[in-house]
Amino acid sequence: MQLRYAFRLYPDTAQQAALARAFGCARVVFNDAVRAREHARQAGEAFPTAGQLSTCLITQAKRTAERGWLGEVSAVVLQQALRDAEAAYRNFFASLKGSQKGPRLGQPRFKSRKDARQSIRFTANARWSITGAGRLNLPKIGAVRVKWSRTLPATPSSVTVIKDAAGRYFASFVIDTDPAADQARMPETDRTIGIDLGLTHFAVLSDGTKIDSPRFLRRAEKKLKKAQKELTRKQKGSKNRAKARLKVARAHAKVADARREFHHQLSTQLISENQGIAVEDLSVAGLARTKLAKSVHDAGWAQFLSMLEYKAQRYGRTLVKIGRFEPTSQTCSTCGVKDGPKPLNIREWTCTACGTVHDRDHNAALNVKTAAGLAVSACRAPVRPGAIPAQREETGSHGFPTGHRAA
């Protein structure tokens, strides 16, 4: 499978200016492609092909006075911007037809220089390289200093350079991993576990383990509130407002990075220790529309479950999702009798049939494991029919989460 390994970049002043030019040129080509498609739609004409757009918007545009500066950046960056526009339209039409899973996607929009995230992508034919001194040598940008937090397991097929809202630069390398080597790294185990996600505790496991919720956003609220107040008091368009905006973005990035690090460590631990994992298929979007929205977003369940999915696939583990309407909190895990719904303030209850006293979350985790029906043979192969490791598509440059760790 393909994964992304992210590392922090530290470009100097000249390299930052070169990257800004590259971001701007890629943005212009992307917007030109969207504009050309929109004009064709309004005129009732066929959409221009990728080859036609490349000839018109890149090759011929470089020879004009209005777009001559496109020649100052690598041509691969411009071609990849066209590919991004093509992919955006493919996903949009697939969403309209219902052939793409997930929420309905909107029509591709124009990019802005004020967008919080800017990115460019270099493929292998761009002739980028990693120097002997450990720097990332990019065409028409130079050798950029990299903070290597780990060794790349294989030769990357492409690299995406990203600037986030906090003004940080990252290099994201696409790596093709070896499934056999990945599975060999995981210790042999026949353990299975059920997980009940919550807000009082981030997760309660079927073996009784309770993992506290770090509440990263709640703990940083006071600092975030102060930084946001300072931002609102600055005059719009001033340099002080730009500095204050950067301060707010950095505070939010710190919270997001801490939450992502927690999810990575916990998901890796669970995958390492268990051959089979059962979780509930939560409707995070629905829960985020309730009065608990802030706490739900702070917990980051969707990100955590996504990590479990691709790590289970990568390391040959089994991840089973049970239906969200399964009455895990209403059923006695000892005798199986359904005892009815209970308000959230009830954390312990006694089964009326067998008299067993249950911890609400631990009982739910046991029921999640039972509903998943996990069973593992000695050869580490999942025995339960239909239990297939969750799939993960190749990571693209649009969905990359800024951070220091590899996915």
pLDDT tens digits along 7-56:
999 999 999 999 999 999 999 999 999 999 999 999 999 999 999 999 99
Residue 278 has phi, psi (to 5 degrees) of -115, 130
Catalytic residue among 298, 309, 339, 361: 361
Instruction: DSSP for 164-215, please give it.
Output: -TTS-EEEEEEEE--HHHHHHHSPP---EEEEEE-SSEEEEETTS-EEE---
Average pLDDT for 75-81: 97
196 is catalytic: yes
Q: Is residue 395 part of a domain?
A: no
Q: Is residue 380 part of a domain?
A: no
Instruction: DSSP for 65-76, please give it.
Output: SSSGGGGGS-HH
Could you tell me if 205 and 193 are in contact, meaning their C-beta atoms sit under 8 angstroms apart? yes
Average pLDDT for 73-102: 93
Catalytic residue among 32, 84, 196, 339: 196
CA distance 324 to 146: 43
Whole-angstrom Cα Rg for the chain: 25
pLDDT tens digits along 88-122:
999 999 999 988 887 889 999 999 999 999 999 99
For residues 205 and 171, state if they share a domain: no
For residues 211 and 103, state if they share a domain: no
Q: For residue 291, give Cα distances in angstroms to 209, 286, 287.
A: 28, 11, 8
For residues 171 and 23, state if they share a domain: yes
What pLDDT band is residue 195 in, cutting at 50, 70 and 90? very high
Closest CA to 211 of 323, 301, 119: 301
Q: Is residue 94 part of a domain?
A: yes
Phi-psi region of 104 (alpha: psi -120 to 50; beta: other; left: phi over 0): beta
Q: Is residue 17 part of a domain?
A: yes
**Has residue 372 got a pLDDT over 90?**
no
361 is catalytic: yes
Q: Give how many domains the chain has, as a whole number.
A: 2
pLDDT tens digits along 336-362:
888 888 888 888 888 888 888 888 899
**Has residue 397 got a pLDDT over 80?**
no
What pLDDT band is residue 383 in, cutting at 50, 70 and 90? very low
pLDDT in the model for residue 388: 34
For residues 148 and 271, state if they share a domain: no
For residues 201 and 348, state if they share a domain: yes
Residue-number span of the structural domain to which 141 is assigned: 2-177
For residues 211 and 285, state if they share a domain: yes
Closest CA to 166 of 118, 222, 121: 118
The domain that holds 348 is classified in CATH as: 3.30.420
For residues 204 and 78, state if they share a domain: no
For residues 207 and 330, state if they share a domain: yes
Q: Is residue 237 part of a domain?
A: no
Catalytic residue among 280, 298, 309, 339: 280
For residues 138 and 256, state if they share a domain: no
Q: Is residue 349 part of a domain?
A: yes
Residues 6+ apart with CB under 8 A from 200: 213, 347, 361
Q: Is residue 103 part of a domain?
A: yes
Average pLDDT for 369-396: 47
Q: Is residue 42 part of a domain?
A: yes
Residue 326 has phi, psi (to 5 degrees) of -65, 125
Tokens of 104: 């309905």
For residues 164 and 191, state if they share a domain: no
182 is catalytic: no
pLDDT in the model for residue 374: 66
For residues 116 and 137, state if they share a domain: yes
Q: What is the pTM of this model?
A: 0.85
pLDDT tens digits along 238-268:
999 999 999 999 999 999 999 999 999 999 9
For residues 130 and 203, state if they share a domain: no
User: pLDDT over 90 for what percent of the chain?
Assistant: 70
